[in-house]
Structure 1
């Protein structure tokens, strides 16, 4: 099949493209390669996935005109929309960037899918939509009406926008709520990367809420397997579904939302300990309070995704952290 993948030079996007190519699909990848973090890392990711079945086009999908031209040129079967302005804390400092990429950009993708009869749109949502929820594990039947960051609010908005297009135009859409993805080629703004860099540089690491935090850390290979599998599970209309009795993760329209995570949260201090073990260095630690936009615990109920795809995460935190640290030291010659 022919896929469009947005966020092609990103952490998850580049790895999804790699798997699609391995499975003999044709892929066009787009990204604006902005400087939110080190562009050298983005270009290096693109370099490693060069292939005759892959074409990269530099496009900002918040700009409708070149995006429409791309859809006109290529007859895409499916779209995997992973591009977005990421980061919880950055959304507090630079809110307008999220309006452009995550709201206008998502609408542009939906419009292009509508106009070109795309078979299936899979897009990135986030575990951050669960916001103030205390009940764990997080289930897709839970309320997600109380986000604690603008980033989370834009991801909830993406789900709502997608449902409206599924309802109005019959476009099959699937949202994936990602839970703390980590691994080789990861993002420099995320904790594993920040901790590893600071420990190697002899700097103290900031530990929020004095380490009393839990995250459903999910290794990149497990995430990519789930994304590619769900692309084959196209939502269908269900005329029996009713708002009063049905789950909000499905609909009478061809619409679905799934959690995609490991399903076993790890205490932050345990995760840091694994990094220390992999590096052979004890971290200098600066304990501090809870930060704006943060949540105490994330924990994915992935039973629906398993039923749909057979998705079962395989990589534990010890193995995953070791692989990340090995990559980091090699890539940055440490």
Structure 2
């Protein structure tokens, strides 16, 4: 049994990762600050779902609303929840002092392109300073293996497709993208100076069960389900490389195994599908799955939104056998099925 620290482990991707690490018999320390970007009870439900194998008596409960109580009741030999902020060095030191951590999977961040334009200082504070704190905690406590979530947004409006890890990514068009590029550079700095083996994972538009309620697919499904009007920015021609959560988790676990087996590793790796879907085709797929015609309000394109994302995943395949398995229609069906069984308000 190894001990893994997952930051943002109560979120969409993080809760799925914790679930798989627990299923493999490992110990998980989940650091999450339960910020107010969306209802914190969503994250509590994520924890109850992801720890069902460890705490079956909790899985059937609706939602304990007290985080202090939740920290106590989910404490076990295999799982520990720490409500803490990665911007607090003292809080991180307390965790790393009390645990022998084998590797860190750093997923915690302020996410979203458009909100980063409204509050770039917050994004710099959480994403850059918070990541630097994680790296400092690792350095001080002798943890030398980590994965960090980057983003396809670092490619900006790259004209060359599909996007390759060798492409120049110096032309971000949002503060969010700029913070993710900064994290990649910090990762290389600590690799070079302190021998912290690193893989930066550039995620491409992740969707699936437990997806954050503020993301497009979740919002659109909810609006279609309620007969509400959908907002479409532009003419619906923007394209995204939508990646199902199960494929992302397989990629993370593959990268984790790779970095644990190697010495002196720094890699930047795309995790996507090597396929793109237009916004109009996304809406059409949701209409077909739900059986409802969308009412669409068309607005101008938003600042910071890229025209397309399109991943070259050959490097991930070469390094650790990454091969996405879930086609878009299947992934959408799985998400809508999950949504219908988990409506909350």
- Scaled by the length of structure 1, the TM-score of the pair is 0.93
Residue 266 (structure 1) aligned with residue 277 (structure 2): yes
Partner residue in 2 for 1:132: 157
Aligned to 2:174: 149
Q: Is the 8 A contact 1:167 1:254 kept in 2?
A: no
Question: 1:289 Cα shift?
Answer: 2.3
Match of 2:246 in 1: 221
| Structure 1 counterpart of 2:86 | 61
Q: Is the 8 A contact 2:123 2:176 kept in 1?
A: yes
Question: Contact 1:37–1:188 (CA<8 Å) still a contact in 2?
Answer: yes
1:125, 1:158 within 8 Å by CA — same for their partners in 2? Answer: yes
**Residue matched to 2:59:** none
Q: 1:102 aligns with which of 115, 119, 127?
A: 127
> Which of these residues, 187, 191, 194, is aligned with residue 162 of structure 1?
187
Aligned 8 A contact 1:271 1:317 in 2: no
Q: Within 5 Å, which residues of 2 pair with 1:201-212? A: 201-212=226-237
Number of the residue aligned with 1:244: none
- 1:333 Cα shift? 6.5
Q: Distance in 2 between matches of 1:260 and 1:35?
A: 28
Which residue does 2:294 correspond to in 1? 283
In structure 2, how many angstroms separate the alpha carbons of the residues matched to 1:119 and 1:92?
34
Cα distance, 1:55 vs. partner? 1.2
Gap runs ≥5 in structure 1: 238-252
Q: 1:200 aligns with which of 206, 213, 225?
A: 225
In structure 1, distance between residues paired with 2:95 and 2:208: 31
Contact 1:131 1:144 in 2 (8 A): yes
Partners of 1:167 and 1:225 in 2: how far apart?
28
- How many Å separate the matches in 1 of 2:287 and 2:190? 47
How far apart, CA to CA, are the structure 1 residues paired with 2:142 and 2:10? 26
The structure 2 residue matched to 1:332, chosen from 311, 320, 343, is: 343
CA distance in 2, matches of 1:46, 1:333: 16
3-state SS of paired residue (1:210):
coil
SS in 2 for 1:207: strand
* Deviates further, 151-160 or 206-215: 206-215
Matched residues in 2 for 1:307 and 1:136: separation?
19
In the other structure, the counterpart of 2:313 is 302
Alignment pair present for 1:6 and 2:31: no
State yes or no: 1:24 paired with 2:39.
Answer: no
Q: Give the root-mean-square deviation of aligned CA atoms.
A: 1.3
Moved more, 280-289 or 26-35: 280-289
Q: After superposition, give the CA deviation of every residue in 1:75-95 in whole Å (9 maximum; x if it has no partner).
A: 100000001010111101122
C-alpha deviation, 1:119, in angstroms: 3.3
Structure 2: give runs of 5+ residues left out of the alignment. 55-75
**Partner of 1:80 in structure 2?**
105
Match of 1:292 in 2: 303
Shift of 1:268: 1.5
Q: Equivalents in 1 of 2:279, 2:124: separation in Å? A: 31
- The alpha carbon displacement at 1:309 in A equals 1.0
The DSSP-based 3-state class of the residue aligned with 1:275 is: helix
In 2, Cα distance between equivalents of 1:38 and 1:278: 27
Q: Deviations over 1:99-144 (max 9, x none)?
A: 2210110000000111122131101000000012111000000000
2:35 matched residue in structure 1: 34
Provide the TM-score with structure 2 as the length reference. Answer: 0.90
Query: C-alpha distance in 2, partners of 1:162/1:171?
Result: 8
CA distance in 1, matches of 2:80, 2:98: 13
Tell me the distance in 2 between the aligned counterparts of 1:314 and 1:77. 29
